[in-house]
């Protein structure tokens, strides 16, 4: 296993070294029905502009998806998902050198996205829903984000139950890392996401967030996608369009715990908050590189 200072994430031609503060992944939902911003960036032009805006605000990864995975959402056919995301990825790649991740569980979508310039496969199923996904990731040497989910988006919030959520997610990660390595994927291509809100109660989510140091024992970078999610309503009482402050609070706590990547909607607010946090708590000069 790697030590924490050695951890790097290799995603095609992009390599992310360990940083002293989290790197930011900006969310671009090319969907009519995502839980937070569904429909806002459904057109190609709007999605491309949003991606470029997020890059200018400090996102080092642009996460582009064409299928909502909110609780209860219905699947989207592969050809429709391709129609939504491929023009966006192609156009963003013309104007940005930032890493691009495609948020999909379908190998057909992932392959086309990698062909037009994506670098990362962000798969909520941990590359389990589509048996061809491992081969696609291996063939393109793509970065992969292994998300934990209990059930499917249609069923995941129907009374999720664990004996020990932290240990069960840890065991899933350990098992899946070994399976992917056996399938020809480099360990350095793998990033881990505990799957906040994917088959978890608010209590499960909080347990997983507090356990970031435990997951670091796996020796792979950690990504958390908690932005505006439902457990924040239980913490703050706020509706989805009022959860940015709650999101920021969790993000700063995760920065203190040493998480590597944050998948978030409001990149500018996170960039400024993390710069201020790092200047005070970590004595990082904001004028200097973060590595």
Helix (H, G, I), strand (E, B) or coil at 224: strand
Helix (H, G, I), strand (E, B) or coil at 25: strand
The number of angstroms, rounded, from the C-alpha of 91 to the middle of its chain's C-alpha atoms is 21
Domains of the chain by residue range: 22-281
Element (H, E) at 83: helix 78-95
Report pLDDT for 291.
47
Helix (H, G, I), strand (E, B) or coil at 230: coil
Report pLDDT for 57.
97
70, 106, 112, 263: the catalytic one is 263
pLDDT along the chain (291 residues), means of 10: 65 94 96 61 89 97 90 84 96 97 98 98 96 98 97 83 97 98 98 96 97 98 96 93 95 97 97 93 69 47
Please indicate whether residue 233 is annotated as part of the active site.
no
The C-alpha R_g of the chain, in whole angstroms, comes to 17
Report pLDDT for 2.
39
Cβ–Cβ < 8 Å for 177, 190 = yes
Q: What is the pTM of this model?
A: 0.92
Count Cβ neighbours within 10 Å for each residue of 141-158 and write b for 16 or more, e otherwise.
Answer: bbbbbbbbbbebbeebbe
Report pLDDT for 288.
63
Please indicate whether residue 220 is annotated as part of the active site.
no
Classify domain 22-281 by CATH number.
3.20.20.20
Angstrom CA distances, 40 to 33, 53, 55, 62, stand at 9, 14, 18, 16
**Which sign does the torsion angle of CA 141, 145, 150, 153 carry?**
negative
229, 230, 233, 271: the catalytic one is 229
């Amino acid at each position: 296993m790697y030590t924490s200072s050695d951890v790097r994430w290799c995603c095609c031609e992009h390599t992310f070294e360990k940083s002293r503060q989290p790197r930011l992944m900006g969310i671009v939902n090319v969907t009519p029905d995502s839980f937070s911003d569904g429909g806002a960036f459904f057109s190609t032009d709007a999605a491309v502009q949003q991606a470029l805006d997020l890059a200018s605000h400090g996102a080092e990864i642009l996460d582009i998806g064409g299928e909502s995975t909110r609780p209860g959402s219905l699947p989207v056919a592969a050809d429709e998902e391709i129609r939504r995301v491929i023009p966006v990825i192609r156009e963003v790649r013309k104007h940005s050198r930032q890493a691009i991740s495609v948020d999909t569980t379908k190998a057909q979508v992932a392959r086309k996205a990698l062909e037009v310039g994506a670098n990362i496969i962000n798969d909520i199923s941990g590359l389990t829903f589509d048996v061809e996904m491992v081969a696609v990731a291996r063939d393109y040497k793509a970065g992969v984000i292994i998300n934990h989910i209990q059930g499917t988006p249609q069923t995941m919030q129907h009374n999720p139950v664990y004996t020990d959520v932290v240990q069960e997610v840890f065991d899933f990660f350990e098992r899946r890392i070994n399976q992917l390595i056996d399938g020809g994927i480099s360990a350095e291509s793998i990033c881990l996401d505990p799957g906040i809100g994917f088959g978890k109660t608010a209590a499960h989510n909080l347990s997983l967030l507090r356990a970031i140091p435990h997951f670091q024992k796996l020796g792979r970078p950690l990504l958390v996608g908690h932005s505006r999610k439902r457990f924040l309503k239980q913490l703050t009482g706020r509706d989805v369009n009022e959860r940015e402050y709650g999101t920021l609070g969790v993000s700063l706590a995760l920065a203190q715990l040493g998480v590597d990547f944050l998948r978030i909607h409001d990149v500018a607010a996170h960039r400024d908050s993390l710069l201020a946090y790092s200047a005070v708590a970590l004595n990082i000069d904001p004028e200097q590189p973060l590595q």
